[in-house]
Amino acid sequence: MNEHSTASGTDTAPGGAGTGREMWGSRFGFIAAAVGSAVGLGNMWRFPYAAAEHGGAAFVLLYVIITFLVGVPIMIAEFGLGRSTRLSPIGALRRSGGPAWAPAGYLFVGAGFLILAYYSVIAGWVSRYALEAVLTPWPADAEAYFNEVSGNTSAVFYHLGFMALTLLIVAGGVKAGIERVSSFAMPLLALILVGIAVWATTLLGADEGYRYYLTPDFNELLSLDTLAAAASQAFFSLSLGMGAMLTFASYLQRDTSLPREATIVALSDFGIAFIAGLVVFPVIFAMGLQSAVSESTVGALFIAIPGAFVEMGAVGRVVGILFFVALFIGAITSAISLLEVVVSSVVDEWKMNRRKASIIGGIIIALIGILPARDLSVLNAMDRVAAEVFLPLGGLVLALLVGWGPAGRSLDAFAEGASPRTRSLLIGWRWTLRLAVPPLLIIVLSRTIPAGIDAIRAIGG
């Protein structure tokens, strides 16, 4: 017996192994939920823009390397910690590392609060775009429309609506809520997006869009800022560094191979992000709206793309509806994973029931989100600090805990359910966590911490 099963054998904490924790209904359900968490606004909104900004295909290449060199190893670590302890982050870190590691769990939950609070604001804009694409005539002026949607009243209203929906799904439970929604929504999202990408190849001027997206500029790779951008994008997109994947794995049976599941999730996440770029740029370039892309990240998605759809007339309307529905699906399945971290922590730590925890957690986050809904500089600062500082910091904690600390002393928790060959690969995996991941994340943090501080200073300005 390894230390984990021993620990869970003497389980006293609420929600620990053997105390009837709710489990996923199927392996597919778990993967759908994990991919649902990963695939979201980060893929369809942040990724294409970051790639175009930072050297096109060269960035994509770097991003893939980081996804598999850093992202997959951290995901395996999160999966193993969650599955072996059957606890959410605070308890999982305490159980696997000892009391000294528990504060890091609070950092994770705090990151969940912050990220969901502003994520829901952007998701609220998306909700209105999707809804009005179906119900109302197209806006004539895309920029004026965006200003209205992101203006105080509308943004707060749709943010609260989106949070209410997120809360309802999470309150419904792991199987009946999260798994049920993700299992049908994620295949649908993939189908829609691939369909639109194929259609986009037929657009006049598409090749210019592809060129803008993918022309490699290898000079960009020499800059540490590009490295920091790729790494924080990878953490955000893969939902790593704050225990979302850890929490989902705490509902997982012991007979699945964690390295295999992590690879599947990472490949799906990258695939969707890459395909999103194959939609976004041809559409924008076909309509000659490239200037809007360089103005801001927000502009790329919320002004240029709808603007292009509007100009395409009836076809644009159909595609536009599909695009924003896909974006909405991505956003809601990601938001539920963020709320789940908070809810399951409250359930595990304070023995509160799920429904009550969902309502209280959801309401607090909804209230915090009113600030970024009313002020884009707050939203920007929250994104900088939570996504670019907290997540890499959380990744560093996980790499140290599993690579050097007590949690990785035995590999059993991570190897259970995997083939013997995969087991031997895990030795290399632990060395990656020990030697490659920490220095890389320290470099990333040395860039993102000053940028985060600047963003906080810029609030209100």
CB-nearer residue toward ligand TRP: 242 or 401: 242
> Are the C-beta atoms of 52 and 293 separated by less than 8 Å?
yes
Taking CB under 6 A as the binding criterion, the range among 132-140, 210-218, 237-245, 408-416 that sits at the site for ligand TRP is: 237-245
Q: Where on the phi/psi map is residue 18: left (φ > 0), alpha (ψ -120 to 50), or beta?
A: left
| Joined tokens for residue 307 | 């603007």
Site string for ligand TRP, 313-342 (x = CB under 6 A): ---------------------x--xx----
CB nearer to ligand TRP: pick between 115 and 121: 115
Q: State which residue, 391 or 437, has the beta carbon closest to ligand TRP.
A: 391
Which of 13, 34, 41, 155 lies at the binding interface for ligand TRP (CB under 6 A)?
Answer: 41
Interface mask (CB under 6 A) for ligand TRP, residues 195-224, using x and -? ------------------------------
Give the nearer residue to ligand TRP in terms of CB position, either 393 or 418.
Answer: 393
Based on the shown chain and the rule CB under 6 A, indicate whether residue 37 belongs to the binding site for ligand TRP: yes
Task: Indicate the length of the chain as a whole number.
Answer: 461
96 binds ligand TRP (CB under 6 A): no
- CB 12 to ligand TRP: min, Å: 29
**Residue 12 structure tokens:** 């006293």
Q: Which stretch binds ligand TRP (CB under 6 A): 25-33, 53-61, 238-246, 431-439?
A: 238-246
Residue 282 CB, shortest distance to ligand TRP, in Å, is: 22
Q: Which amino acid is at 376?
A: L
Among 88, 96, 232, 237, contact with ligand TRP (rule: CB under 6 A)? 237
Which residues between 347 and 406 bind ligand TRP (CB under 6 A)? 391
Phi/psi-derived region of residue 460, left when phi > 0, alpha when psi is between -120 and 50, beta in every other case: left
b/e per residue 357-395 (b: at least 16 CB within 10 A): bbeebbeebbebbbbbbbeeebbbbbbbbbbbbbbbbbb
Instruction: Tell me the helix, strand and coil percentages in the chain, rounded to 5.
Output: 80, 0, 20
Closest CA to 239 of 102, 79, 357, 373: 79
User: What angle, rounded to 10 degrees, do the helices at 102-135 and 152-171 form?
Assistant: 120
**Of 31, 81, 107, 115, the one binding ligand TRP by CB under 6 A:** 115
239 binds ligand TRP (CB under 6 A): yes
Q: How far apart (Å, rounded) are the C-alpha atoms in residues 239 and 117?
A: 15
Residues in contact with 137: Cβ distance below 8 Å, sequence separation at least 6, in sequence order: none
Q: Which of the stretches 41-49, 201-209, 217-225, 445-453 binds ligand TRP when contact is defined by CB under 6 A? A: 41-49
Residue of the chain from 35, 244, 266, 379 that contacts ligand TRP (CB under 6 A): 244
Tally: H helices and E strands in the chain:
25, 0
The count of chain residues that interact with ligand TRP, using the rule CB under 6 A, is: 16
Binding positions for ligand TRP, rule: CB under 6 A: 37-38, 40-43, 115, 236-237, 239, 242, 244, 334, 337-338, 391
